[in-house]
Amino acid sequence: MLAKLIKYDIKSMSRTFIPMWVLTPVIAIMLSLSMRGMVTTSRMTPAESFVVARNGMISMVMGLLFLGVIIGLVVMTIMFIIQRFWNGLLKEEGYLMFTLPVETWELITAKGLSATFVTCISMADAVFACLMLALFSAEVVLNSLARIWNGLMEDLFKAGPVFMFNLVLLIFLVILSVAQSIYHVYAAMALGQLFEGHRVLGSCVSYVGISIAVSVVTNIIASVTSWILPNSWTYDVWYYMNHSAEVMGLVYLLLMILYTVLQIVVYHVVTERILSTKLNLE
Amino acid sequence: MGGPLIQCQDVWKRYGKKEALRGLNLTLESGKIVGLLGPNGSGKTTLIKVLNGLLCPEHGTVLIDGEAPGTYTKSIISYLPDKPYFAGWMKVSDLFDFFGDFYMDFDRERAEQMCKALLIDTSLKMKTLSKGTKEKVQLILVMSRRAKLYLLDEPIAGVDPAARDFILSTILNNYNQDGTVLISTHLISDVERVLDEVVFIQNGQVVRQELVDDIREKEGKSVDELFREVFRTIPYGGGEW
């Protein structure tokens, strides 16, 4: 049943997001191409200057358009996360979803996974668009970018397996952080629906409340961790002289992954318990 | 499973300070069309939502076919809410796929036949349909299931008399004869002819539960007349005017 729920969630979001995901890199390429004509020299004829000025105008419009599309993508993604949960479970559509013969955790997991998927794809799309912006830009820019890229690749090949593993863990942590932020919003909305007649306000207050609580807990954990583990803030130079910084990074990454997973589990359990025992579809 | 299909014991549900259900007790058997009758605000919709699991009561026991509201009870209940609940982007055919995916007892062929008979184009999106057509699609989906319990919340409220006849005939011709249909309404005269039993609800409590034939035989009245008698409102505190 979970796979079926995810299928319908993905279907509902694809009609909105696919055009946006296609549009973003296309606008980036157009902006990049328009900027090519902006290279000026001191010995230009008036006609050439006019062309450069015209190209400059086009580039400015394309730049604004690109900025608009990127902002649109970010806003749409945030709206999608909130709307799919709020309208899909806590408003009229909830009458349909909560009368399906599925468990509440499946409804929440389906929403969480599809929202994480959409957010990650949107992030990857924005990075891809920036890459397109660079690849199609003027040769001078392209050459310097190529130099930076080659340097990075060389460093990567020289780096040990721990560094590569850290890189993979870092990407995994980013994905988990996206899921954690989404589940944070879900828990706030689930708590908000308990505030009869003031559900939106209740959700906002819950979001802020949870954020403060998490911030306090995070600070406590960070303090405890810094006492136990050597770190740069306490100038544990002796440690870095004797141990690899990569191993240190690995330890911190694993701890952060553990903490993020813990947060996701807590948010999920809170949301599931509220919607299972205190569901209030008035 | 045997035993009563619906069992509610001392069920309480509050909205803030307002008590919507106040120690409600109800037992219903299978194989009947039952009218859940009561004035506005008497607790009909709340009771239906509690039976569905859309609302969690603060106190009391609710059993459907011997089980508390959950995955099993949802698989045997076909629910028609009092408002449209489908996403506007979905086509009618998407909804058929959706119901087919989640409900084992959904009869797609029957649903398509009903749409064809009513000239409803299944390739159209829900948001492009008129209010009346949306309601018809919703009813078709609900009645195309071979459910044990149909919970129909105000199915004829806000529609013209011709549409009421269509809705009632759709219910009568399509419900699972072994199951029970619970119809909540305050438009008694329209549904009276299809009911086997009535449950009168007032201030969140069942005040009367009787077979329609018994009411006619014992009281010599129609259900509509009895309803007016039971729920008569006294204007201006009983004073003449």
Local confidence band at B238 (pLDDT 50, 70, 90 cut-offs): very low
Q: Which long-range contacts (CB under 8 A, 24 or more apart) does A193-202 make?
A: A193/A90, A193/A274, A193/A279, A193/A280, A194/A274, A194/A278, A194/A280, A196/A280, A196/A282, A196/B15, A196/B16, A197/B16, A199/A90
Higher pLDDT, A165 or B73: B73
Give the separation between CA B165 and CA B190, rounded to whole angstroms. Answer: 8
Q: Phi then psi for B36, rounded to 5 degrees?
A: -100, 100
Contact assignment for B101 to A197 by CB distance below 8 Å: no
Does B158 fall in a domain? yes
Pick from B15, B74, B84: CB nearest A99 = B74
Rounded to whole angstroms, the Cα distance separating A101 from B57 reads: 20
CATH of the domain at B159: 3.40.50.300
- B contacts of A103 (beta carbons < 8 Å): 71
| Stretch B141-158: mean pLDDT | 88
Closest Cβ–Cβ partner in A99, A101, A196 for B16: A196
User: A280 to chain B: nearest residue by CA?
Assistant: B55
Closest residue in B to A98 (Cα–Cα): B54
Dihedral of the alpha carbons of B161, B164, B166, B167, in degrees to the nearest 10: 170
In chain A, what percentage of residues exceed pLDDT 90? Answer: 32
User: Is A281 within 8 Å of B86 when comparing Cβ atoms?
Assistant: no
How far is the alpha carbon of B229 from chain A, nearest alpha carbon, in Å? Answer: 30
Cβ count within 10 A of residue A209: 12
pLDDT at residue A231, rounded to an integer: 58
pLDDT at position B181: 92
Question: Which of B15, B47, B54 to mutate: most A Cβ within 10 Å?
Answer: B54
What is the tens place of the pLDDT at every residue in B68-86? 999 999 999 999 998 888 8
> What is the predicted pLDDT for the residue at A76?
86
The per-residue pLDDT for A112 is: 93
Judge whether residue A101 has pLDDT over 50: yes
pLDDT tens-digit readout, A223-278: 887 777 665 555 555 555 455 666 777 778 888 899 999 999 999 999 999 998 88
| Record: contact B85-A8, CB cut-off 8 A | no
B:67-96 residues touching chain A, CB 8 A cutoff: 71-72, 74-75, 77, 79, 81, 83-87, 89
Q: Which domain holds residue B190?
A: 6-87+146-233
- Residues from chain B that touch A99, judged by Cβ atoms under 8 A, are 52-54, 74, 77, 79
Instruction: Give me the residue from B83, B86, B89 closest to A15, CB to CB.
Output: B89
At A193-237, the pLDDT tens digits run 888 778 889 999 999 999 999 999 988 888 887 777 665 555 555
From chain A, pick out residues whose CB is under 8 angstroms from the CB of B87: 12, 88, 93
**Shortest CA gap A187–chain B (Å):** 18
B25 within a domain of the structure (yes/no): yes
Assigned domain for B128 exists: no
- Banded pLDDT at A38 (limits 50, 70, 90): low
Show which residues on chain A lie within 8 Å of chain B, measured between beta carbons. Answer: 1, 4, 8, 12, 15, 88, 92-96, 98-103, 196-197, 277-282
Confidence band (pLDDT; 50, 70, 90) for A124? very high
Q: Chain A partners of B89 at a C-beta cutoff of 8 Å? A: 12, 15
Is B74's CB within 8 Å of A8's CB?
no
For B35-56, write each residue's pLDDT tens digit. 999 888 889 999 999 999 888 8
**Interface contacts (A, B; CB < 8 Å):** 61
User: What residues of B are in contact with residue A12 (Cβ under 8 Å)?
Assistant: 87, 89
- Name the domain count of chain B: 1
Is B182's pLDDT higher than 70? yes
| B50 falls within a domain | yes
Q: What is the pLDDT of residue B174?
A: 78
CB contact under 8 A, B55 and A281: yes
Residues A47 and A151 sit within 8 Å (Cβ to Cβ) = no
Q: What is the pLDDT of residues A59-72, one digit of tens each?
A: 777 778 878 888 88
DSSP A154-215: HHHHHS-HHHHHHHHHHHHHHHHHHHHHHHHHHHHHHHHTTSTT-HHHHHHHHHHHHHHHHH
Query: Which chain B residues are closer than 8 Å to A8 by Cβ?
Result: 98
- Determine the pLDDT at residue A271: 95
Q: Which residues in chain B belong to E strands, given as ranges?
A: 6-15, 18-28, 33-37, 59-64, 77-80, 149-153, 180-185, 197-202, 205-211
Does residue B172 belong to the interface with chain A, where contact is any CB pair within 8 Å? no
Q: What is the pLDDT of residues B1-40, one digit of tens each?
A: 567 899 999 999 988 788 889 999 999 998 889 999 988 8
Residue B204 to residue B36: CA distance in whole angstroms: 12
In a domain, A282, yes or no: no
Q: How confident is the model at residue B240 (pLDDT cuts 50, 70, 90)?
A: very low
Distance from CA of B35 to the nearest CA of A (A): 21
When CB atoms are compared, the residue of A95, A279, A280 closest to B85 is A95
**What ipTM score was computed for the predicted complex, to two decimals?**
0.85
Burial of B39 (0-12, 13-18, 19+ CB in 10 A): middle
Q: How many separate domains does chain A show? A: 1
Amino acid A236: pLDDT: 55
The predicted pLDDT at position B239 comes to: 46
Containing structural domain, residue A151: 2-277
Taking the C-alpha atoms of residue A21 and residue A16, their distance in angstroms, rounded to an integer, is 9
Tokens for A127, please give them. Answer: 């990075």
**Whether A103 and B89 lie within 8 Å, measured CB to CB:** no
Domain contains B204:
yes
* B18 → chain A, closest CA residue: A196
* Whether B83 and A277 lie within 8 Å, measured CB to CB: no
Instruction: Please report the pLDDT score of residue B241 as a whole number.
Output: 44
Q: Inter-chain contact B79–A98, Cβ cutoff 8 Å?
A: no
Residue B97 forms part of a structural domain: no
